[in-house]
């Protein structure tokens, strides 16, 4: 009788909301500062952690980093490209209402389980809270436009985060498709996001032996004023993880973009040609003078990682609109 009851309950659980699991696939990346080289080792095994709904979060990519200069343990949840488009009665503009419906339908269709972003984001936050992560890292395009309903959705959910969070712009968060990245749009909506960001251009989380540094390159470039701010932070000489929206171009990332998207948007090198300020920033990030050892990015809507150079790996994440996030464990 008990066995039959258990079987029935399992079936009900699957039908009602997807299965729940406690394990992830783990990728271990070891960084040795002694020889200024990077060694990558991939291991697949079960790792027990907080439960989550696999119907909503379809994949949690486990990344474990080791750095000789980091003595404490950290856990970060990284996400990008949720593209939330939330329609509610607060939207009076018909053009905005129609766009929200259209974009929500698009990204819900692109989701493997046809789950909408209004269900995915709360699940990511619950997971972040349940594992007691040090921070939630928001790599841009969390919302698809700065509509009133999207801003309210962002506000309500980020209030639920029980830890720190770090947010940088994508190319969509602050602008509408029909008024794309104009100066007027920037002047109107950049200030709105100061509720969620320490600064619109550069912000960071600093720990005793680690810095997570978010830099706004959502326009496919950076502002010149950013260079001095970033340099000041990098000169602390702590091990640093850089969070961008648009990836820095590498051979593998560019090739993957060509094959999957039939276009290239990653910056520098054999990717999109950059202006002088943006190239100066890239050169500074990858310089041996500083202790950057990892770069996180999104934007391209697929996962790929590659070596920037001998000491820096860039991890480009899958899109959160498909229920995919990264869990980064350090030491």
Instruction: Tell me the residue range of the domain where 217 lies.
Output: 18-330
The answer to whether residue 10 is domain-embedded is no
Pairing of the two strands 240-243 and 210-215: parallel
Whole-angstrom distance, CA of residue 120 vs CA of residue 117: 5
Whole-angstrom distance, CA of residue 36 vs CA of residue 27: 21
Tokens of 228: 């001095």
The answer to whether residue 7 is domain-embedded is no
Task: State pLDDT tens for residues 144-197.
Answer: 999 999 999 999 999 999 999 999 999 999 999 999 999 999 999 999 999 999
Task: State pLDDT tens for residues 255-281.
Answer: 999 999 999 999 999 999 999 999 999
- Answer yes or no: are the C-beta atoms of 284 and 248 closer than 8 Å: no
pLDDT, residue 49, reads 63
Please state the domain count of the chain.
1
The answer to whether residue 3 is domain-embedded is no
The answer to whether residue 79 is domain-embedded is yes
The structure tokens 């990728």 sit at: 27
- Residue 132: count other Cβ atoms within 10 Å of its Cβ: 10
* Half-sphere CA count of 154, side-chain side, radius 13 A: 27
The answer to whether residue 321 is domain-embedded is yes
**Domain with 225 in it: what CATH number?**
3.60.21.10
Whole-structure pTM value = 0.88
Task: State pLDDT tens for residues 99-152.
Answer: 999 999 999 999 999 999 999 999 999 999 999 999 999 999 999 999 999 999
The structure tokens 């509509």 sit at: 147
Tell me the CA distances in angstroms from 233 to 199, 213, 312, one per residue in order: 14, 8, 18
- Answer yes or no: are the C-beta atoms of 269 and 254 closer than 8 Å: yes
Closest-CA residue to 167 (of 226, 118, 215): 215
The answer to whether residue 9 is domain-embedded is no
The answer to whether residue 12 is domain-embedded is no
Percent pLDDT > 90 in the chain is 82
Tokens of 114: 């046809």
**Which class for 169: exposed (0-12), middle (13-18), buried (19 or more C-beta within 10 A)?**
buried
The answer to whether residue 11 is domain-embedded is no
Q: Which residues contact 201 (CB under 8 A, 6 or more apart)?
A: 215, 216, 222, 223, 225, 226, 229
What is the mean predicted confidence (pLDDT) over 238-258?
97
């Amino acid at each position: 009788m008990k066995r039959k009851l258990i079987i029935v309950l399992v079936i009900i659980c699957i039908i009602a909301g997807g299965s729940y699991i406690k394990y992830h696939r783990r990728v271990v990346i070891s960084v040795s500062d002694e020889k200024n080289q990077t060694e990558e080792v991939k291991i697949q095994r079960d790792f027990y952690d907080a439960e989550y709904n696999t119907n909503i979060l379809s994949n949690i990519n486990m990344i474990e980093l080791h750095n000789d200069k980091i003595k404490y343990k950290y856990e970060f949840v990284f996400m990008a490209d949720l593209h939330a488009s939330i329609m509610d009665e607060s939207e009076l503009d018909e053009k905005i209402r129609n766009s929200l419906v259209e974009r929500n339908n698009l990204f819900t269709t692109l989701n493997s389980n046809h789950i909408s972003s209004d269900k995915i984001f709360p699940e990511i936050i619950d997971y972040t809270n349940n594992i007691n992560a040090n921070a939630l890292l928001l790599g841009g395009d969390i919302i698809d436009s700065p509509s009133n309903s999207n801003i309210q959705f962002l506000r309500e959910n980020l209030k639920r985060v029980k830890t720190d969070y770090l947010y940088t712009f994508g190319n969509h968060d602050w602008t509408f498709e029909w008024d794309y990245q104009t100066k007027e749009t920037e002047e109107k909506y950049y200030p709105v996001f100061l509720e969620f960001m320490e600064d619109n251009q550069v912000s960071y989380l600093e720990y005793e032996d680690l810095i997570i540094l978010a830099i706004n390159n959502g326009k496919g470039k950076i502002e010149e004023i950013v260079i001095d701010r970033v340099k000041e932070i990098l000169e602390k000489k702590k091990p640093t993880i850089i969070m961008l929206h648009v990836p820095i171009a590498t051979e593998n990332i560019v090739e993957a973009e060509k094959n999957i998207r039939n276009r290239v948007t990653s910056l520098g090198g054999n990717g999109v040609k950059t202006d002088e300020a943006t190239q100066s920033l890239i050169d500074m990030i990858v310089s041996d003078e500083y202790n950057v050892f990892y770069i996180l990015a999104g934007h391209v809507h697929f996962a790929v990682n590659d070596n920037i150079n001998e000491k820096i790996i860039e991890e480009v994440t899958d899109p959160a609109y498909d229920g995919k996030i990264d869990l980064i464990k350090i030491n």
